[in-house]
Amino acid sequence: MKRSADPQTLNVSSSINVPKTSHAIQVRSASEADAEAIIQTHFDAVHQTASAFYPAEVLDSWSRRPDESRYLQVRQAIAKGHELFVVAEDGFGVVGFGSIVPTLQELTAVYVHPRRARRGVGAMILEHLERLALTHHCTQLQMDASVNAEAFYRGHGYEVVERGVHRLASGLEMACTRLNKFLLRSIQAVSEEIVLITPTLDLASDFRLLAEEFLADGDERYQEASQNVLAFVRACEDYAAGRDLPHEWVPTSTFWLVRGRERILGCSRLRHRLNRFLAEEGGHIGYDVRPSERGKGYGSLLLALTLGEARNIGFDKVLITADEVNVGSWRVIEKNGGHREQGVFSRESGLFRRYWVATSPV
């Protein structure tokens, strides 16, 4: 396979690591004013994220240093409207972008800044572009992905068509993978304002409703906590600091995935170390999505954000387990780059899978 295209359009992807002071991410349509941020993100992503996979001369040809001519190229592309651009931004500015060409059913770009790793924003950009493609009557999307980005797209339902080379404008060639995905009409919208927070009394009423949903689903895990939310919030603070831990517990941080600062979408728990039981069965991270919010992609986002928190406290990789029958759970782990341990494992609840997941993109 040999393809020639503008060097800016070859996909490289990583998730976005939002600074600790702001987890909120918005995905919106790009304007011409975003051109400089788009080019800078492209340059940094190519030269840092892909540097272990391609030689310097390929990186320089793929993305040369930002200048006015490159900014103008993006401004003109946005103005023409043939290629549709979106940007992801937090409270500090643009942290990622993507684009599609609906008439070609082509996914032309998904790039994020390498310093913003493992926050699920790459997935948010991709889902936004897929919804945009559906509104333009696309039935599928195809793209050429860089070697380091192939796993990301495969984890989001893209299938390998063929592997080959991509010819850059300079004439240099680089290894790439052609992928394709048939879009489903049931793709769920991802909120443009989702944050990962620690439990707070401000959402006590919704936490009680969440506990009722779990109970109706046959799960009592939040019933006791919902009866005294103040005590629960204080306990979460103590356990995260390693204070007053129950017998055989380890320091554990608890998080809520929240939409619009008013609805809890899911909960996660990050254990700061492993005891014997956790090393065998429990793992570093546990998570669950509110019953009424399942099947909407929130599990993948919740885990991606929690992986970012694990990275913040020093983990390079974490152990996560899932029951063999819980297909949704282990698919979420695999979407986040989980590598399954070989073998069959069993516990009281039945067979389960063990995965090791890097907290930073390769």
The Cα 203–Cα 274 span in angstroms is 30
Single out the residue of 328, 13, 306 nearest to residue 151, CA to CA: 13
Provide the pLDDT for residue 121. 83
Which residues, in sequence order, are CB contacts of 265 under 8 Å at separation 6+?
Answer: 194, 256, 257, 258, 259, 289, 290, 293, 298, 302
Determine what percent of the chain is predicted with pLDDT higher than 90: 57
2-182 CATH choice from 3.40.190.10, 3.40.710.10, 3.40.50.620, 3.40.630.30: 3.40.630.30
What element of type H or E holds 276?
helix 276-277
Q: Mean pLDDT, to the nearest integer, of 129-147?
A: 84
Single out the residue of 227, 223, 306, 226 nearest to residue 272, CA to CA: 306
298 has a pLDDT exceeding 60: yes
The Cα 284–Cα 325 span in angstroms is 20
Provide the pLDDT for residue 35. 96
CATH homologous superfamily, domain 194-358: Gcn5-related N-acetyltransferase (GNAT) (3.40.630.30)
Answer whether 2-182 and 194-358 agree in fold. Answer: yes
Q: Is 118 exposed, middle or buried (0-12, 13-18, 19+ CB in 10 A)?
A: buried
273 has a pLDDT exceeding 70: yes
The Cα 245–Cα 24 span in angstroms is 31
pTM: 0.53
> 131 pLDDT band (50/70/90 cuts)?
confident
Q: Mean pLDDT, to the nearest integer, of 183-195?
A: 52
Going from N- to C-terminal start, the domains of the chain cover 2-182, 194-358
- Is the C-alpha dihedral spanning 294, 361, 117, 34 positive or negative? negative
Provide the pLDDT for residue 184. 52
Mind listing the pLDDT tens digit for each residue in 216-236? Answer: 999 999 999 999 999 999 999
Provide the pLDDT for residue 11. 58
The conformation of residue 325, written as its DSSP 8-state character, comes to: T
Least confident of 105-114, 120-129, 184-193, 196-205: 184-193
